Every structure is written in C-alpha cells, then in structure tokens.
Chains A and B, each alone.
Chain A
Amino acid sequence: MRPVDREFEITVDGVAVPVVPGQSVGAALHGAGIRSWRRTRREGRPRGLFCGIGVCFDCLVTVNGVPSLRACLTEARPGDRITTENER
C-alpha cells in the first residue's frame, strides 16, 4: 500500500470517520461502511456511490455547509464536516 501519511478524521453528521490522505469524501465514507448519505427528492430513495468517477451525481453531499458536491470528486481535508439529508 501507499506509504501512508498520518490518517486524519472528518465527521459525518457529527460521527468521526478516519481518512487516509488523498482519499475522496465518498471513498472515506464508503470505506467506513457508510453506504448512503443522501435521499432522492421524490421518493426518498437512499443514494451513495455508484459511478465513483463524477458522472452519475448520486453521491452528492454537503461539505462544511457547501451543498451538492460530488463526494467521489471531493478530496477529504482534516476536520471536514459532512452533513447528510441536506439536499436543497
């Protein structure tokens, strides 16, 4: 495995999730066993990673209050606060 810099933490709705430097928010969540972090606006279906490379937009997430970011494209930074169920 890649020589790992020090792991850090982000929080998801207040719960700490470990991150390997360089990981996307989506990968960190998925790796921590969190499979969904959004509900669709019509039928409330749960959504998480699907395409994993920024084209399907299923994994939208709010990071530090900024909504509608693709979790799979957003590199996690120490202390990031992820909030779910926040689609506008």
Chain B
Amino acid sequence: MPDVVVIGAGAVGAACAYYAARAGLDTLVVDRGSVAAGTTGAGEGNVLVSDKAPGPELALALLSRDLWLGLAEDGVGDGGFEYEPKGGLVVARTPHELAALTALAGAQAEQGAEHVVVPADALTDHEPHLAPGLAGGVLYPQDAQVQPALAAARLIRRGAERFGRGTLMLRTGVTVTGLLRAGERVTGVATDHGDILAGAVVNAAGTWGGEIAAMAGTPLPILPRRGFVLVTEPIREPLIRHKVYTAAYVTDVASDSEDLETSAVVEATPSGPVLVGASRERVGFDRTTSVPVLERLARQAVELFPVLAGLRAIRAYCGFRPYCPDHLPVIGQDPAVPGLHHACGHEGAGIGLAPATGHLIAQTLTGAVPDLDLRPFLPGRFQEARR
C-alpha cells in the first residue's frame, strides 16, 4: 500500500510525486490517460516570475523557479526537459504602459524578482527583430522555459530511478471513479482497475480537479479557461531570444472576463518553431478551432515582430487552463476531508509553479513546516467564502 496516491500525471502531479518520494514516502501516480496528457501537454512550458503579482503567488513562483533551476542542473544537459534560462522581456507600447510596468517590477523586486529596465533605444540590443516604436520594456532574467510534457515525464522517471522504483510508481490508463473513505477520512481511491488504498490522496487533476473534489463532496471552483497556441515552421537560427510579451498580458492574466482576451507572447523553442500565445476564453471544454482567435494572435505577434509575417504557421492547438476565481492555485489539505490534499488550479502557471507546489505538498504530507505560508493557497478559502 503506497503512502500517497497522486491523481494526475501532469507537471504538478509529477512534482508532487517526485518530492513525496524524495521525502521517503511510497508514492503512486495514476492518470486516466498518458503522462502529460492534459493541460501540461498543451502548454508552452512557462517558468515565469515576471507575470506574477507581488504577494503570495510571486513568492511561490520565485521558490519554484529556484527549484526548476536545481532540477535542471541536477540532470543531464538541459535537465532532459529542454530547460532554457532565456529570460523574459516585457515590452510596453506607450509611456503609460511603461510606467505601470516599471512600477510593477519595482514592487516585484522587493520580494527578490530581478529585473532590468530597458529603454526604448536599447530594446533591439536584447531583441534585434522587435518592431520600432515601442516605449521600452523590462527584462526579467529569472524567467525560463521547459518542455512541459518532457518535464513531467522526466521528473517521474528521475524520481523512480533516484528514490527507488518501488518508491515512485506510475500507472497510466487508470481512471479514478471515487474516493475511499473511513468516516471523514480519505483512505484511497476507487478506480476502473480496482481500489487503491493509501495513506493520503493528492488531487493533482488540474482542470479536472473540481471533479475529484466533488467525489469527496467538497467544493473546488475550478473552471476551464481555453487557450490557443500558434506554432510556426521550424527555423534554424532563433529569431527571438527571450520570452517576449506585451504588458497587456499581465492584465489579461489577472482579468476575470469570460470573453476572449489575447496578448501576444512570442518565443522560440530549442526544437525550432516559434510559439505564439496566448488567448484566454471561458467557453467550457470546447475544442473547436476559432479562426478569429488565431488571426488575432498572428496580428499581435506580427505587430511585435514584423519579421514573423513571412513565417508560416503550421499548427495550432488549444488547452484548458484550470482557472480559479481568485487566480491562485489550491495547495494544501482539505479542511473538511482529512487525507485529501489538493494541488491544482494553477491556471496558466502550472508548469512554472509545479516544483514549489510538489515541494510544499511533500512538506504537508510529512508534517514538516512548509517553506512558504500556505494560507493564501489553502482550499478552505472557498468553503469559508460560502459560509
């Protein structure tokens, strides 16, 4: 019998399993599909501090970025998952935007987020192909990128190799159909492949985390927020060095609107293509391609980098971010359901925040004092709000 069953083999589930195994817990990861088959496989692999509001989320992001760096340096080459400490460049189109951006960067710096203000005439030193006429920008050297599917898969593999194949196991194609209970306490999961008893259950089901919580009769208001990514033809010489986006992205991330919002996020990848994100819409789990969304992404990308106009898009895909109304992830034990720990609801930041989430969950599981104050992330906040 494992000490912990982790539901979900995305980046967050993989990190929870890795750190739980590292803490000496026998850990089993189950997923109804493959590793990284949900939102992890549809993301760009953002490891960002730049887009985080000062406060608890930025603290989580800074801790997580340090852990990603450690995991990458601990592995072979790029960590086995294309870790790129490329840095992020946020550009402002107007002096007004630039003022807001530098003010934000100043507040972020108080928590330890590094930045360099880039005046308009120095932008092309950092990104030679940027459009003229921008007001300036802020460079965030701590921003990085990973290949998210590989990151999740390799974390699980590395944990198994390092801490023992009996300590960290992965079972794919196993669907959780219910939670096993002994009174209030969760004692394992019921699956389509039989019951699995465990000392604790971690809900790392991402956008589907609310469904797992519902099995325990506990509310977790996680909704899908659809995003499209455009992928270009592969190119030999990277045209773009950093993750580049407009200041509007920060306000879009923090927005509560159900309507479509897009703000160009442009970057090159080690495998060759340029990725263009990021749209946000709350339309349920609808996978139908929206040509207008793709058009807007293309238009904004070309506005930022006119050189992209001649590059061909060969692919587009969408995913569903796990969206919480207050834009903070849910990390910690459910106050109403002992033994059930939540690690989901990271919206578009799940890859970046995965290691810190896993690390904090492992500390909770072993009774250690968490490295961060978990109160802003605790699932009880939704239950309190309902009272």
Residue numbers of A with Cβ under 8 A of B are: 41, 68, 87-88
Q: Is the interface of B mostly helix, strand, loop or mixed?
A: loop
Would A41 and B233 count as touching, CB distance under 8 A? no
Q: Is the interface of A mostly helix, strand, loop or mixed?
A: loop
Give Cα A87–Cα B272 distance, bound, in whole angstroms: 12
B304-318 residues with Cβ-Cβ distance < 8 A to A are: 311-312
Using CB atoms, name the residue of chain B closest to A57: B314
- B237, B272, B312: which contacts A68 (Cβ < 8 A)? B312
B193 contacts chain A at the CB level, 8 A cutoff: no
B295-344 residues with Cβ-Cβ distance < 8 A to A are: 311-312
Give the residues in chain B near A68, CB-CB below 8 Å.
Answer: 233, 312
* A86 CB to nearest B CB, Å: 10
B254 contacts chain A at the CB level, 8 A cutoff: no
Residue numbers of B with Cβ under 8 A of A are: 233-237, 272, 311-312
Give Cα A12–Cα B237 distance, bound, in whole angstroms: 24
Give Cα A88–Cα B312 distance, bound, in whole angstroms: 11
Would A87 and B312 count as touching, CB distance under 8 A? no
Using CB atoms, name the residue of chain B closest to A86: B236
Give Cα A88–Cα B237 distance, bound, in whole angstroms: 7
* B306 CB to nearest A CB, Å: 16
Give Cα A86–Cα B74 distance, bound, in whole angstroms: 38
Would A41 and B312 count as touching, CB distance under 8 A? no
Give the residues in chain B near A88, CB-CB below 8 Å.
Answer: 233, 235-237, 311
Q: List 11 A-B contacts (CB under 8 A).
A: A41-B234, A41-B236, A41-B272, A68-B233, A68-B312, A87-B236, A88-B233, A88-B235, A88-B236, A88-B237, A88-B311
Give Cα A68–Cα B272 distance, bound, in whole angstroms: 14
Give the residues in chain A near B237, CB-CB below 8 Å.
Answer: 88
Using CB atoms, name the residue of chain A closest to B239: A88
Give Cα A29–Cα B272 distance, bound, in whole angstroms: 28
Using CB atoms, name the residue of chain B closest to A60: B233
The 5 closest A-B pairs by CB, nearest first: A88-B235, A41-B236, A88-B236, A68-B233, A41-B234
Give Cα A82–Cα B147 distance, bound, in whole angstroms: 36
Using CB atoms, name the residue of chain B closest to A41: B236
* A43 CB to nearest B CB, Å: 13
Give the residues in chain A near B234, CB-CB below 8 Å.
Answer: 41
* B271 CB to nearest A CB, Å: 9
Give the residues in chain B near A41, CB-CB below 8 Å.
Answer: 234, 236, 272
* B78 CB to nearest A CB, Å: 16
* A40 CB to nearest B CB, Å: 10
Q: A68-B312, A87-B236, A88-B233 are in contact. List 8 more A-B contacts (CB 8 A).
A: A41-B234, A41-B236, A41-B272, A68-B233, A88-B235, A88-B236, A88-B237, A88-B311
Interface centre among A41, A68, A87, A88 (most CB of B within 10 A): A88
Give the residues in chain A near B235, CB-CB below 8 Å.
Answer: 88
Give Cα A76–Cα B233 distance, bound, in whole angstroms: 23
* B317 CB to nearest A CB, Å: 19
